[in-house]
Structure 1
Amino acid sequence: MPLGTSPDTAPLAACDPGKNLDDACHDVESKISRTDSKASLLLAFNGAVLAGLASVADKDLPLPAQFAGGAAVLALAASAVLLLLVVRPNLGGRGRVVREGFPCWAQLSEDDLLNAMRQDTRLTRVRSLSIIAVAKFERLARAVDVILAALALLLVAAVLAVAG
């Protein structure tokens, strides 16, 4: 490929907006699925760490180690809440708006639903799903940051427990 050219040099007129919208819908749906899978794995990780911490809860540890361990447990609990919010379905209500898809369709009469099925709502779907995906990714990123902080606190607690 010569310098100064890009692989996507097709004129805009040759683009198929319908295909692009379909691709965008599938892409955002797969991103949402990926965040849910990652959140589920991290929830299992949190559970395993908390179970491990419960096994040492009856040990006589120095007070500074107990404080650091307690802070780690609180951080893990906070990350679990964030992860649960990632996998929580957005069905509308309580300030959450759903303008397209099955939560909206469930509220329509049969005639209104048939009318809705005649409309191309892919633009709305891409936008709505993208808003959901961004919120999920933000919560997932925050949860990972909190888990990392919890692991750092656990390391401090372990060092303090060994140092006595």
Structure 2
Amino acid sequence: MSAIERNLNAAHAEVKAEIARTDSKTALLLAFVGAILAGTWTVVRDLPLNLPARIVGGLGLALLVWAAGLLLRSVRPNLSGRHGFPLWATLTAAEITTATHRDLATDIAGLSRLAVAKFTCLRRAVDLTLTGGALLILAALLTLGGAA
């Protein structure tokens, strides 16, 4: 195996590991966002909220729902891709052997684009989760301040 082939194989393994890492982070964050949404609903459904708290809290919840949507989009399988197993499903065994030997660099590029798209969704979801959480804290403070 040449140095180029070793480097391509290492790059391919690295990109696949990054995709798996992103999916793991996404699953944890999705569970966290779901817990915040469920917990918030449980706590506030019987509370008398003032108008500012309702507005700020509603916006915070909307951002959390948006974050959950981005997270779901991030883990949604892309079965129309032209690399990896979606491509292999359209080929014969002989074509797979040829394609995997010849097109490893193309597969690395395609998987890298997929990884960047996943990381972008994850990053935006984290930003929305932080902002939504801050707004929920502000809504709680507005409720406590309005109750006094």
TM-score by length of structure 2 reads 0.91
Which residue, 28, 34, 38 being the options, matches 2:15?
28
Distance in 2, matches of 1:90 and 1:159, equals: 42
Give matches, 1:127-142, under 5 Å.
127-142=109-124
One-letter identity of the residue aligned with 1:125: D
Counting aligned pairs with the same residue, the percent is 46
Give matches, 1:11-160, under 5 Å.
16-55=3-42, 56-92=44-80, 98-108=81-91, 110=92, 113-119=93-99, 120=101, 121-160=103-142
Cα distance, 1:159 vs. partner? 1.0
- Aligned residue for 2:32, secondary structure, equals helix
TM-score by length of structure 1 reads 0.82
CA-based RMSD: 1.3
Deviations 1:120-141 (A, max 9, x none): 2210111010000000011110
Cα distance, 1:79 vs. partner? 0.1
| Mapped contact 1:72–1:150 kept (Cα < 8 A) | yes
One-letter identity of the residue aligned with 2:31: A
One-letter identity of the residue aligned with 1:100: H
One-letter identity of the residue aligned with 1:46: V
1:5 match: none
Distance in 2, matches of 1:71 and 1:116, equals: 50
| Mapped contact 2:83–2:111 kept (Cα < 8 A) | no
One-letter identity of the residue aligned with 1:42: L
- Aligned residue for 1:107, secondary structure, equals coil
One-letter identity of the residue aligned with 1:116: I
Cα distance, 1:36 vs. partner? 0.5
Distance in 1, matches of 2:132 and 2:87, equals: 40
| Mapped contact 1:99–1:124 kept (Cα < 8 A) | no
| Mapped contact 2:63–2:129 kept (Cα < 8 A) | yes
One-letter identity of the residue aligned with 2:3: D
Q: Which has the larger radius of gyration?
A: 1
**Which structure is higher in helix share?**
2
